Amino acid sequence: MKEALSIAGPDVAKVEQKRPPIFIRNALVAHVIAFVADRILGDGLTSDGRDLLYKLVVRACRGERVSISREVPLVYQGATLKIEADGQNNIPSFGPTMLIGNHTRGGPLLNNGQFIEMASQGYHARRGVQEEEIREPFVIMQKGLGGWVVKRYATEFFYKMAASALNCEIVTIPRFGKNKDNKEVEIVNHQGLRPIATQRIIDGGAALWLPQGTHREPDDLRFPENKGTGFLRKIYDEDRYVQLVPVRSIPDSNRNVKIVFGPAVGISEVIKGGGINYFAQNHIASLR
């Protein structure tokens, strides 16, 4: 791994937080949004967890920063759906890192708890980084849910607000085409990931990326080759010492989920091996 300083220097990319529109920052509107979020995401949480979720959503509506790795995990403590993590010691303690995993259902917060737990485990493993914004992994997330038009537009502003509050990078909802095996897996639209996302990684940060772009069956480890390998090549062209950590989410029959982190591998090996599906089949598939 390339040696890196644990203290961020002056050239580290800083992410400017965008405040939500003024009508969302209105106290009444913020509480209505928090109420709806509680009804959608709060199933199976404890009363304390639901109260905290409500408060964090109100803070996000006000334009305040919320820590995805230290504050949000407290929401699902004691929830009926459980998250178990294993292999956290495989996450590098510092340096440019990408946590790359499959995208499947399971866990609390309407399947979203597993992503929060990945970010949390990444933060605690990256103890060699002193700058909090660099230490905490940022999630590459889409701006809203797919499906019918009203649903897309209704969720877009909430996802964008959450991304800003949680210091995430946001992309357009993917559209899928067929791969060479005539399977719907390739992402065909331009998703608009900002160049600063690449900069945040090569400046010593960590990203959490689930390239599949939608929920898939737990054993479906086909990844979008064009988009996935293209993004890795872009990172590789900037820094050939980025570490890639394979992550596999494995739900059980009761929708609890186990998250397994595998040994980190250099991005050079993955690019030379063929790209994102080489990484998935050789480093994610074997995790149990």
Q: What is the pLDDT of residues 156-210, one digit of tens each?
A: 778 888 999 999 999 988 888 877 777 778 888 888 999 999 999 999 999 999 9
Which of 44-48, 143-147, 151-155 has maximum average pLDDT? 44-48
How many domains are there within the chain? Answer: 1
Query: Is 215 inside any structural domain?
Result: yes
Lowest-confidence segment of 22-26, 37-41, 166-170, 273-277 by average pLDDT: 22-26
The answer to whether residues 241 and 95 touch, using CB atoms and an 8 Å cutoff, is: yes
Instruction: Flag whether 278 is in a domain.
Output: yes
Residue 67 lies in a domain: no
pLDDT over 60 (residue 99) = yes
In the chain, what is the straight-line distance between the N-terminal and C-terminal CA atoms, in Å?
Answer: 25
Return the pLDDT at 45: 98
Does 6 map to a domain? no
Q: What is the mean pLDDT of residues 276-285?
A: 98
Query: What pLDDT does 29 receive?
Result: 84
Q: Max Cα separation, the chain?
A: 54
Asked if the structure places residue 16 within a domain, the reply is no
> d(Cα 150, Cα 176) in Å, to the nearest integer?
20
pLDDT at 5: 35
User: Does 21 or 63 have the greater pLDDT score?
Assistant: 63
Residue 104, domain member (yes or no): yes
User: How confident is the model over 16-27, as a mean pLDDT?
Assistant: 66
Q: What residues does 140 pair with on adjacent strands?
A: 169
**Mean of the per-residue pLDDT values for the chain?**
89
Based on C-alpha coordinates, what's the Rg of the chain?
A: 18
Question: What is the pLDDT, as a whole number, of residue 56?
Answer: 97
Distance CA 81, CA 233 (A): 37
pLDDT at 256 over 50: yes
pLDDT tens-digit profile of 223-241? 999 899 999 999 999 999 9
| pLDDT, average across residues 17-41 | 80
Residue 152 has pLDDT above 70, yes or no: no
Structural domain boundaries enclosing 249:
83-284
- Cα–Cα distance measured from residue 258 to residue 214, given in angstroms and rounded to the nearest whole number: 19
Q: pTM above 0.85?
A: yes
Residue 63 lies in a domain: no
Confidence check: pLDDT of 280 > 80:
yes
Residue 220 lies in a domain: yes
Half-sphere exposure of 286 (CA within 13 A, CB side): 9
